[in-house]
Amino acid sequence: MRRTRSRLITVLIHVELAVVAVIVLYPLAWIVGSSLGSGRSLAQASAIPTDPTFANYVRLFAETPFATWYGNSLIVAVSNMVLSVLLSAIAAYVFARLRFSGRRIGLLVMLVIQIFPTFMTAIAIYILYLTFGLLDSLAGLVIASVAAAVPYNIWLLKGYLDGISTSLDEAAVLDGASHLQIFTRILLPLMTPMLTFVAVTQFAVPWMDFILPRLLISSPENYTVAIGLFQLISDQTRNDFTTFAAGAILVAVPITVLYMVLQRYLVAGLAQGGEKE
Q: How does pLDDT run across 102-159, given as a tens digit for each residue? A: 888 988 888 887 777 777 788 888 999 999 888 999 999 999 999 888 988 998 899 8
Half-sphere exposure of 78 (CA within 13 A, CB side): 8
Per-residue confidence (pLDDT) for residue 274, from 0 to 100:
43
Q: Which CATH class is domain 60-276?
A: mainly alpha
Per-residue confidence (pLDDT) for residue 202, from 0 to 100:
92
Per-residue confidence (pLDDT) for residue 116, from 0 to 100:
75
Low-confidence ranges of the chain (pLDDT < 70): 1, 39-47, 235-239, 266-277
Distances (CA, A) of 71 to 92, 138, 200, 264, 268: 31, 11, 18, 26, 31
In the chain, which segments carry CATH 1.10.3720.10?
60-276
**What gap in Å lies between CA 191 and CA 206, rounded to an integer?**
23
Tell me which residue of 263, 255, 256, 146 sits closest to 193, measured CA to CA: 263
Tell me which residue of 212, 214, 225, 224 sits closest to 118, measured CA to CA: 212
CB 95 within 8 A of CB 103: yes
Per-residue confidence (pLDDT) for residue 267, from 0 to 100:
63
Per-residue confidence (pLDDT) for residue 55, from 0 to 100:
85
**What gap in Å lies between CA 64 and CA 46, rounded to an integer?**
23
Half-sphere exposure of 105 (CA within 13 A, CB side): 3
Per-residue confidence (pLDDT) for residue 46, from 0 to 100:
66
DSSP assignment of 154-183: HHHHHHHHHTS-THHHHHHHHTT--HHHII
Per-residue confidence (pLDDT) for residue 223, from 0 to 100:
94
Predicted model pTM: 0.83
Per-residue confidence (pLDDT) for residue 45, from 0 to 100:
64
